[in-house]
Structure 1
Amino acid sequence: MNERIPDATGTSGGCPVAHGSADVTRLYGPEAATDPVGIYERLRKEHGSVAPVLLEGDVPAWLVLGYRDNRRVLDNPRQFSRDARIWRDRLDGRVEETSPLIPMLGWRPDCVSQDGEPHRRLRGAVNDGLQAAAARGVRRHATHFANKQIDAFAGTGRADLVADYADHLPMLVLTRILGLAEGEGRRLVESCAQVLMGGAEALAHNERIVEILGALAERKHGEPGSDFTTALLEHRAGLDMEEVVSHLRLVLIAAHTTTSNLLARVLQRVLTDVSRLSGLVSGQLTVSAVVEEVMWDSPPLAVMPGRFATADLELGGCPVKEGDLLVLGLAAGNLDPEVRPDAAVSVQGNQSHLAFSAGPHECPGQSIGLAVIEIAVDVLLHRLPGVRLAVSPGELTSTASTWESRLDGLPVEFPV
């Protein structure tokens, strides 16, 4: 298959820099950790809607920057598969089993690693389990744990809403959904973060997650309950134990890291903009409207792994070869000037952002994550009237990995 696809700028694009060049941009390291948006915009100017990049270990990939090209990749699994078993660099031995990319890009027996009928079978089990979980009181769990987290610092007049609140609340809700003990959930917060951060510790933390979830699945096999784990074990799709554990891992990492990151960014937006804060307090603005803005401007996953070309083709003027890895620039796509020429224009009411991905693999748990965030913000503003930033907005910093940019802290103060 040789198909010419125009790039997002409407030109023939072109990729003058090959992956083997010393000039290829790395999506890891000091610059990527501090200015990922600057990298995306520089790559867009140099290459158009698709750019050659290097991931950890100098593993080559194509970063999709254009909104339309992102949608093309996400909507067409026959051309761009999620199945890492066709990843050419892995097959050729250029990606070791010990690579920190494996937890994010390696094949597993879960629904995001497969397409077609295997995907539909496994995705059906996940959808049914999450729908049942949503009907069993997610908002009640979120309210309980939001108050519990706030109780720990409400009497001090100060808090860091990242470390003390956003980092833990989604995981605590997930413990109820999955059937984990609360203490196990708190232990898993760091491990989930490390898997996305990459580096030398990513594999060890991934193994820790699998070990804890494997024990949970074995426990629920003998002692079923009203939880997502039991729902997977008993589903008519007949998942084996490895498939169950793989999906527990998938939901845990994806739901926790994206929801905690999005919650932190929503709180940042509210506390650095007096009009939004007063609008929420007065009821003239809804939390969901602020969430929508943040999903356009700062999606919780800036870059999403990954797709693999099923044949030679051209994308954005770049010669993508069969087995090549593509990573999806969700943050860059949302800021594509072709679809959003003025980033300052309001996006309220426009839900066509890429924050939840798109196509057959679109996030199945987005309604649960949004419910947790809405409750978290409402409870916080109710419990801590007068809450305000303890530093100037310009002092807030973020640290990025290949996949996400996380707020380092959100120090606040409030009357006691």
Structure 2
Amino acid sequence: MSAEGLTRLYGPEMEDNAPALYEKLRAEHGGVAPVLVQGDVPAWLVLGYRENLDVTRNPTRFTRDSRLWREAHEGRVAIDNPLLPITMWQPMCAFLDGEEAKRLRSAVTDSMKRMDRRGVRRYVTRYANQLIDEFASAGHADLVADFAGILPMLVSTKLLGMADSEGPRLLDAARDMVKASETAIASNAFIIDTLRALVAEKKRKPGDDFASWLIGHESQLSDDELAEHLRLVLIASYSTTANLIANTLHMVLTDKRFRGNLAGGHMTLPDALEQVLWDAPPFTAVYGRWATGDTELAGHHIKEGDMLVLGLAAGNTDPAIRPDMSAPVHGNRSHLAFSGGPHECPGQDIGRAIADTGIDALLARLPDLRLAVDEDKVRWRTSLLSRDLVALPVAFTPLDPAVVGDAGRVAHHTEPSAQQSRLPVPVPDAAAPARTGRQSWWQSVLRWIRGA
């Protein structure tokens, strides 16, 4: 595949308006388009819904084993290419197919099944209320920096069996890695080193946590396999859930379809989450799949060793399956947000539970939550894997400091019903006083996370 004249999946055009770029490529090439990824490496972007399913469901034609990547074999992928942390072959189920992949994936899925869903929701409620306590008396907040961007990492590190103090540095490293920054490789190494230390600790002193269950699984994962699978779970759960929370809150606050339905009381929070998974999936793309031999896809000749990028966001908006984008999709889980086939995300229900419970806790305590800026002032950042909100500034009626903190957590520490929770209808703006409140250990952790 010649690189001449190909569209880049990075840079200004992608960052300014990714959806428009997807539609331009669809109009020019159909369900699959030749593109350039980081380092001007040729690849194929899968745009069509059916084509995405074809690729994900046929591992004998399109494998997850990146050792087949021809461009890498022929020396056209630099050793500092930011794609390497997410494409370089590693000893884990996400980079294998067949029996070995089943062995490794079963260790992950069986360990996830041991998680107590009520326990997960209790952790989420606890951490969500601790975060809310920090801004509840101020009357204003940034729901990306102060809530959505922090909550999933706090919950994930707890579920893995790590101390609360591990969260801040892992959060910084995870954010850096998924942005494909110049320091992404160093951030990836820090995460791996931290998880290797966790494996060693849990081998000495097992606990009632995901890391210990993974270590004790009958599949008998090696230390390398354990660290890589813990990394996979940590990064995937953090990245997808943080985006899902932020995107759902954004749509609740800005989308007229939600306001109309909410006014009539017909939309549950799970309905809202599912709509977001269609319209603004947490991962917009997945790198990648590799052709196991010369083949055809959507009329294009794919050569052995070519890389394919799954266009999850593009597939979800394919006119062939969604001719009317304004039509609601409540109850329809056939979106591509969690990929598909044998590598479909095994933790999607846990991610939904974290997002659902966290948002429910936020809206229950701040029922008049509203956007604090004009909708067109909300900014987005397109990264390697996702389209992220830069900030989501909101205002609300401040809570009395007397009911914030331990008293507030006791008053609001009830487990929400994922099926019956309703979202509040936004109300007109009110003046927001300056931030006030106590200086606590929790605030020092938050300052660390935000780099203050």
- On whether the aligned pair clears a TM of 0.5, the verdict is yes
Bigger CA drift: 128-137 or 303-312?
Answer: 128-137
The question of 1:163 aligning with 2:176 is answered: no
**Residue 368 of structure 1: how far off its partner (Å):** 0.3
Q: 2: distance between equivalents of 1:195 and 1:355?
A: 20
* Structure 2 equivalent of residue 294 of structure 1: 276
* Structure 2 equivalent of residue 5 of structure 1: none
Correspondent of 1:128 among 107, 110, 113: 110
Bigger CA drift: 323-332 or 94-103?
Answer: 94-103
Letter in structure 2 aligned against 1:345: A
* Structure 1 equivalent of residue 208 of structure 2: 226
* Structure 2 equivalent of residue 382 of structure 1: 364
Q: 2: distance between equivalents of 1:43 and 1:357?
A: 21
**Residue 249 of structure 1: how far off its partner (Å):** 0.5
- Written as runs of structure 1 = structure 2, the 5 A alignment for 1:172-321 is 172-273=154-255, 276=258, 284-321=266-303
Q: 1: distance between equivalents of 2:231 and 2:185?
A: 13
* Structure 2 equivalent of residue 20 of structure 1: 3
What do residues 116-146 of structure 1 show as CA deviations (whole Å, max 9, x unaligned)? 0011000000001111124461111100011
Correspondent of 1:343 among 316, 320, 325: 325
* Structure 2 equivalent of residue 328 of structure 1: 310
Instruction: Give the secondary-structure state (helix, strand or coil) at the position aligned to 2:397.
Output: coil
Instruction: Give the secondary-structure state (helix, strand or coil) at the position aligned to 1:340.
Output: coil
* Structure 2 equivalent of residue 15 of structure 1: none
Instruction: Give the secondary-structure state (helix, strand or coil) at the position aligned to 1:137.
Output: helix
Q: 1: distance between equivalents of 2:298 and 2:90?
A: 29
Bigger CA drift: 277-286 or 337-346?
Answer: 277-286
**Residue 282 of structure 1: how far off its partner (Å):** 7.9
Instruction: Give the secondary-structure state (helix, strand or coil) at the position aligned to 2:114.
Output: helix
Q: 2: distance between equivalents of 1:178 and 1:114?
A: 23
The question of 1:87 aligning with 2:54 is answered: no
Q: 2: distance between equivalents of 1:232 and 1:283?
A: 42
Bigger CA drift: 354-363 or 207-216?
Answer: 207-216
Structure 1's unaligned 5+ residue stretches are: 1-17
Letter in structure 2 aligned against 1:276: F
* Structure 1 equivalent of residue 92 of structure 2: 110
Aligned length: 398
What do residues 384-409 of structure 1 show as CA deviations (whole Å, max 9, x unaligned)? 12111101111111100132100111
Correspondent of 2:351 among 346, 369, 378: 369
Q: 2: distance between equivalents of 1:275 and 1:322?
A: 45
Letter in structure 1 aligned against 2:125: T
Q: 2: distance between equivalents of 1:274 and 1:298?
A: 16
Q: 1: distance between equivalents of 2:347 and 2:263?
A: 28
Q: 1: distance between equivalents of 2:351 and 2:190?
A: 24
Q: 2: distance between equivalents of 1:284 and 1:272?
A: 18
Alpha-carbon spacing, 1:148–1:63, altered in 2? closer, same or farther (3 Å): same
Instruction: Give the secondary-structure state (helix, strand or coil) at the position aligned to 1:44.
Output: helix
**Residue 73 of structure 1: how far off its partner (Å):** 0.1
Q: CA contact under 8 A between 2:291 and 2:307: conserved in structure 1?
A: yes
Report runs of 4+ in structure 1 exceeding 6 Å deviation. none
- TM-score, normalised with respect to structure 2: 0.86
Q: CA contact under 8 A between 1:55 and 1:402: conserved in structure 2?
A: no
Instruction: Give the secondary-structure state (helix, strand or coil) at the position aligned to 1:307.
Output: strand
Alpha-carbon spacing, 1:77–1:297, altered in 2? closer, same or farther (3 Å): same
Q: CA contact under 8 A between 1:280 and 1:287: conserved in structure 2?
A: no
Q: CA contact under 8 A between 2:381 and 2:390: conserved in structure 1?
A: yes
Cα RMSD of the aligned pairs, angstroms, is 1.4
* Structure 2 equivalent of residue 357 of structure 1: 339
Instruction: Give the secondary-structure state (helix, strand or coil) at the position aligned to 1:268.
Output: helix
* Structure 2 equivalent of residue 39 of structure 1: 21
Letter in structure 2 aligned against 1:27: L
**Residue 269 of structure 1: how far off its partner (Å):** 0.6
Letter in structure 2 aligned against 1:406: D
Q: CA contact under 8 A between 1:84 and 1:113: conserved in structure 2?
A: yes
Alpha-carbon spacing, 1:226–1:277, altered in 2? closer, same or farther (3 Å): farther
Correspondent of 2:382 among 400, 403, 414: 400
Alpha-carbon spacing, 1:281–1:364, altered in 2? closer, same or farther (3 Å): farther
Letter in structure 1 aligned against 2:386: E
Q: 2: distance between equivalents of 1:26 and 1:134?
A: 44
Sequence identity percentage = 49
The question of 1:57 aligning with 2:48 is answered: no
What do residues 257-311 of structure 1 show as CA deviations (whole Å, max 9, x unaligned)? 0100011000001111366358659853211101111111111111111100000
Correspondent of 1:411 among 393, 396, 399: 393
What do residues 19-53 of structure 1 show as CA deviations (whole Å, max 9, x unaligned)? 321x2111111221221111111100111110011
Letter in structure 1 aligned against 2:3: G
Q: 2: distance between equivalents of 1:397 and 1:191?
A: 23
What do residues 329-379 of structure 1 show as CA deviations (whole Å, max 9, x unaligned)? 000000011111111111112211000111000000001000011111111
Q: CA contact under 8 A between 2:3 and 2:41: conserved in structure 1?
A: no
Alpha-carbon spacing, 1:371–1:280, altered in 2? closer, same or farther (3 Å): farther
Alpha-carbon spacing, 1:228–1:160, altered in 2? closer, same or farther (3 Å): same
Instruction: Give the secondary-structure state (helix, strand or coil) at the position aligned to 1:62.
Output: strand
Alpha-carbon spacing, 1:356–1:153, altered in 2? closer, same or farther (3 Å): same
Q: CA contact under 8 A between 1:396 and 1:409: conserved in structure 2?
A: yes
Q: 1: distance between equivalents of 2:218 and 2:362?
A: 40
Q: 2: distance between equivalents of 1:41 and 1:195?
A: 28
**Residue 106 of structure 1: how far off its partner (Å):** 1.1
Q: 2: distance between equivalents of 1:326 and 1:107?
A: 15
